[in-house]
Amino acid sequence: MTESTLKLTTAQAIIKYLSNQFIEIDGSEMRICGGGFGIFGHGNVTCLGEALYDHREDLPLYRGQNEQGMGFAAAGYAKQWLRRRFMFCTASAGPGTTNLLTAAALAHANRLPMLMLCGDTFITRLPDPVLQQLEHFNNPTLGVNDAFKAVSRFWDRITHPAQILQSLPAALATMLDPADCGPVFIGLPQDVQGWHYDYPESFFERKVHRIRRQGPDLAEVMDAAKLLKMAKRPMIIAGGGIQYSGAVSELTKFAEAHDIPVVETIAGRANLMHDHRLNIGPIGVTGSDSANAIAERADVILAVGTRLQDFTTGSWTAFAKDAQIIGINVGRHDAMKHLSLPVVADAKLSITALGAVMSEYKTPSSWLDFACDERTKWVAYTDNITAGGNGPNSYCQVIRAVNDLCDPRDRLVAAAGGLPAEVTAHWQTKSIGTVDVEFGFSCMGYEIAGGWGARIAQFEQEPDRDTIIFTGDGSYMLMNSDIYSSVLTNKKLIICVLDNGGFAVINKLQNNTGNESFNNLIVDCPTVPTPFFVDFEAHSKSMGANAETVSNLVEFGDAFKRAKSADKTSVIVMKVDAFEGWTTKGHTWWEVGTPHITDNPVIAEKHLEIEASRAKQRKGI
């Protein structure tokens, strides 16, 4: 019997396939692709645009203002959905596509699903060279889309309509794989988009997907349990993978059953409630004295769902050199870092299996008492420096003000600059999984665009909650156009713009390494003869948002309450000090390159001071 076929263009088939892919989440079925973000150009408007128009109800297309912002929004959407749903981004050939490179790198670093459907040059080469084509004289197959190979988990260029029968399922499998999850790039040559093919109807049948849970190897679990039961000073590092696995409850029960203190990574912020007795605080360069105090003394470290990047490990100085690490991670690469004893499996299943063989093990009370005492001292410190009136306006004061006034289920978004450290140190979690601090790629500009994407997802889940964004003036200047996007699409944001007059956190690093302030703060730019500062209130209003400027915490609190009750995006602008008010405690060593020779004695002294901490650095792979 001959199988029934449908004659469709390549572009039509791609969109029809996507519209029929569903996922089961908590017993409900919904489209795995929530829609897309698009800016049309000659490379995608005629064919892909035609296909998208016919599916505009199934796959809503949000008009972007900048392709990089579209990618950030897709990342924010995927985070809010805990990687169980994704958005696509479509861009034209040339610069429209290359604008997505940074966003793809962010998604790759953070292991986030994102589908890029981007225009490409003509396969026939008959009209070459075409508009926006970069010619490589000795390799005509090479184009700018090849640049995405370094920042994609799956990459393909469709040179014939039949290819998508293999390519699309493989791309979807990548985005749904807990270990290999990341961005997918599919190059769509402008002629191939419009070519037709007789596709089997079965290819477009409704399909329901489920996220795979890889069970742990029993031998690895037993080895981990044996090591952990011998621990005198154990601790757990809770990473972002715990939330993606849905393992928060299992982690909490495991820690409680064995009285093991827990510290959080930046991505793992909001794994435990602030007032949980075993929550010892955030770890690492942007961490807390309490978490880092136990990290440097721990003998066995259970690292769950973390890739152990340098801000977590203090460039591998945060732990004792003889401490033994157990790595629970669905990704083999992450589970085995620094000679860890690996449990390569899903966090939820692994923690459950480990708990089943841990018997009656309990952490020695003296160790737990030490951890809790350190936590008490850290909380007292943060309460003091975040209090209004203690010094000039600062990031941490505003963070705590929002913390006190927000709803427990509101979503918090921050990225890059000085805010990740301040949010990580001072945010007191009111509800699990409500914090998105983008620090995997440490990408300025993510805040507003990523917040817009998060709000789209949040609107599908809890429309009566708010998405709250912290951004500095530097990130605002880099990418702010999605204020306009949020107003256009009626996806309300609350945006706190904290203006410290430039790139203040890098100025701080510059000063801390003995260098003079140079080209970071606006007032320190030698090419700026007469410094002046942006009117962020007026600029935000020009994009349709509510906006107001405040001068102190009392005014900020009143403005925030107005923003909560407003029905559209609100921007609150407040100047903060560039030099004072930073959190000075809680930081581990962080390796940065400093000059080994210099004529500046201050820089030379700082170099020696920084290098002195290298003696604590663990060596490993």
For the stretch 480-531, pLDDT in tens is 999 999 999 999 999 999 999 999 999 999 999 999 999 999 999 999 999 9
Euclidean distance between CA atoms 184 and 71, whole angstroms:
12
Euclidean distance between CA atoms 220 and 572, whole angstroms:
51
**pLDDT in the model for residue 535:** 98
Evaluate the CA torsion angle 63, 65, 67, 71 in order and state its sign. negative
| Two structure tokens written together for 132 | 């926006």
Are 277 and 297 within 8 A, CB to CB? no
Nearby residues of 399 by Cβ (< 8 Å), 6 or more positions away: 386, 422, 423, 426, 427, 470
Euclidean distance between CA atoms 244 and 242, whole angstroms:
6
Its pTM stands at 0.97
**pLDDT in the model for residue 621:** 58
**pLDDT in the model for residue 339:** 87
**Domain extents for the chain?**
5-209, 218-378, 386-575
Nearby residues of 331 by Cβ (< 8 Å), 6 or more positions away: 111, 178, 179, 180, 307, 344
Euclidean distance between CA atoms 239 and 220, whole angstroms:
20
Superfamily of domain 218-378, CATH level 4: TPP-binding domain (3.40.50.1220)
Proportion of the chain above pLDDT 70, given as a percent? 100
Tell me, letter by letter, the H, E, C secondary structure of 242-261: HHHHCCHHHHHHHHHHHCCC
The DSSP code for 521 is B
Across the beta sheet with 570-575, the strand order is: 435-438, 411-415, 467-472, 494-499, 570-575, 546-550
Q: Which of 190, 215, 93 is nearest to 146 (CA)?
A: 93
Q: What is the CATH number of domain 386-575?
A: 3.40.50.970
Side chain identity at residue 58, one-letter code: D
Euclidean distance between CA atoms 147 and 484, whole angstroms:
30
Tokens 């600059």 locate to 417
Domains 5-209 and 218-378 belong to one CATH topology: yes
Euclidean distance between CA atoms 513 and 14, whole angstroms:
52
How high is the mean pLDDT in each 10-residue block of the chain (621 residues)?
Answer: 91 98 95 98 97 97 97 98 98 95 98 98 93 90 95 98 98 97 98 98 97 96 98 98 97 98 96 97 96 98 97 95 96 93 98 96 97 98 88 94 97 94 95 95 96 97 96 97 98 98 96 96 96 96 98 97 98 96 92 95 95 88 58
**461-485 tens-digit pLDDT:** 999 999 999 999 999 999 999 999 9
Where b means 16+ CB within 10 Å and e means fewer, 558-568 reads ebbeebbeeee
Superfamily of domain 5-209, CATH level 4: Thiamin diphosphate (ThDP)-binding fold, Pyr/PP domains (3.40.50.970)
**pLDDT in the model for residue 334:** 95
**pLDDT in the model for residue 239:** 98
